[in-house]
Structure 1
């Protein structure tokens, strides 16, 4: 992780390979999950929307139903659940959610849900039972994947912290008038570390002392042993030091080579992203159909990686090398779906079009890395 004048850049490396790249503008910080006191300025019943002043240049967009008691001039407690992208306004919600390391608090509902990634029924039952024991007011809670094997003390501590944060937000909402930022979510890099730190992470390298101290404080609250993973390389270009810059350059070029000698061509338009798969130098000793099939399978892993690294959202069209065997086509879709499962952002493979193109929809949350 390195701080530059205009941005903070974080690279996640696994086996000397770039798997994720986070870039946050230090001038225009991310706003997703921030909570505001907003003023309703314009209600549009026809499109079931209200436009709300939260202190931005552009009005934010709040979906509403006819049953919602919302009027012009009204103060509302809102949270950004989708950043403004390009000409689109930020999208708001009145269902406030506050995320801790193990739990997410949603005070406006009363459901206890649990991460789909926690598969063991015994553990799911244990966690729900613990959370119910201290959730006396029956508030909405999501039990996160990180909660696996947590004891009651850790979960209760996380819950109490979220309750305290919510109470402070409500208090701030009542103080003063006009649009106001009530709660700012952690920086992208800090939140990533807080949410993903575990025994498998070997090292966290930072080149900024202020950020180092901030991360150190967060890690001390999670597990003091994790502080040993922190390395400060003050004022150094850690991306060059750890050969990350070359990886980024390679990963973000229009042409991306596959190990086999095949390659991808990635092109973005305003409406969608097109990925073309080619056999390139890959000939091998296999038949032509087998060669094309093997290249396509290898491309699936790289496509999933590229969508994460570049933070590409919206509609993605993949032009795989044409296959004739039905079994190969079915396996290809399964492989692509499997590769996309490691992505925390919701992605869906929509199937093969009549022209043989594969369509993917990936939730768009902010501008992609190249912008």
Structure 2
């Protein structure tokens, strides 16, 4: 599972399907049939059953409903709106007192911004929202609200325009303003200011090649930061020692602010850094919530502490092997797989690829 971000969940890193799924199906949140007899009975069902949507609707598999319910428990735990609201209300971080200038960047930007406004209300004077999708019509916030749409997963001119606006926003901070940054997955692509000599084509090619090679997110974000004036701590350096707060919904291994959003609000490489950083939601939180909900139902749960990473096809084989060996009734994994994207990819993402591997 991964939070989208609020995470919901980099959107959910958990894929759900029963262990009695047809061959070549695996999942990151899977039911392990408790008895050999039930496994045998399920495997003897006609394969057409799995493609007959109407039949499934008439006779829903209770295991599927169980897994979906557990998945919802994980997603609710990492909901950006709730996590930010609680963090700013004092349960996980300090309250920003007044004159707050809020910048929310990432796929979960709207959700996180809603939580901030619910916690701080009229204390927020300005809001800058940089995200992938236009916010809902019901998004009502105090003070002036500006919304910019960037591009994801490949950056484009909109991402560059959003980056220039973000820089101008930081430069315009009045002396009394309290900057609050809300960062979530997708920020690496949605906003960018390139180093002198670097072009949008350079960034696009770097990203495409990384997708084709199936490299891990940490390495990809490090490469992006090398071309950027605001990544790798560059934006924090622009604050010039001003106190600020940054809340993160993490979709990366180790929940490192230097990696989240390619280090958009990571520590400044030089100069004074007075940014207070808190990770308010992570993959581990989602996995723990799923495991706790399952345990409350009396299920034996296997939830490895170590996050998974690597090639989706190899991970699928590993998960299938673990499912065959475990005595647990539910297996929950959290992490991020990689896929070598071909020149003309089909539909779906890395989670679907893993599930079908």
Structure number with bigger Rg: 1
Pairwise TM-score range, normalised by the shorter structure:
under 0.3
- After TM superposition, the score normalised by the length of structure 1 is 0.22
Taking CA–CA contacts closer than 8 Å with sequence separation of 6 or more, which of the two structures ends up with the larger relative contact order?
2
Give the TM-score normalised by structure 2. 0.23
Q: Which has the higher helix share?
A: 2
